Structure 1
Amino acid sequence: MSLTLDELDSHLFKCADIIRNAVDKTDYKDFILPLVFCKTISDTYQDRFEEVIDEVGDEEIARQEAWYDFVVLEVEDWALVFQQDHTFNSPTGAARVVLGRSSNGWRDWANGDGDTLDEIERQ
């Protein structure tokens, strides 16, 4: 089934409304930010996939991992696991993606002794 851009936009807006009405407004970002992160990764793959198809003309060949120099996340035992380093703009952004919920990365990241990133870097 193919959709027009307007139909897709309408469908996604309805999905956002469902989430928005199902969770407290303070928790809304906890659902949206990880989705945006995963969407960005998906779009990056799709862009590269289309480049490879243009280059080699074969979808089966274009799906081979050798064409891709990035594998950010893979599913392992029902969890998304980072397969390479990924740079985030802030400790809080990283914590939100890793934890899948609202988080203050300066407070929630800690070393083995329990010292928070805030204590280590800011004080």
Structure 2
Amino acid sequence: MINTKLKQASIYLMISLLLGASLVSNHTNAAMVGTDSYLAAAQTEYDREALLTLIQTDDIKQQLERYGVSAADAEQRVNAMTHSELLAFNDALQSGPAGEGLLGTLLVVFVVFVITDMLCATDLFSFVNCINK
């Protein structure tokens, strides 16, 4: 008698556990990944790597140090840039004249750093106040 009640209780326990597990489980939806979204993500990573490579050159490092920005801080900011910020930076970089790129590049990098300071993404310059506080 006790053995039958124990079997019956364990059956009810197993049923309730299986039912509970099926109700709690997460459902996932698969969707197609569009080519344009994949290419945009790949282009963003390519642009980021190109900019990081540019920052590693000796000329750019020296100019950044003149402005008081370390190469590590510059890399951190580039890694924090959004897709639209990278596009704007690359457009400014590509539209500049071929021989005058260094000063213009540094100016664009400086402006991007000031903007990221204003948006509270970083805190590099003490003279820039955060607007999101």
TM range (shorter): under 0.3
TM-score w.r.t. structure 1 length?
0.27
More helix by share: 2
TM-score w.r.t. structure 2 length?
0.25
More strand by share: 1
Which has the higher Rg, Structure 1 or Structure 2?
2
Structure having greater relative contact order (Cα 8 Å, sep ≥ 6): 1
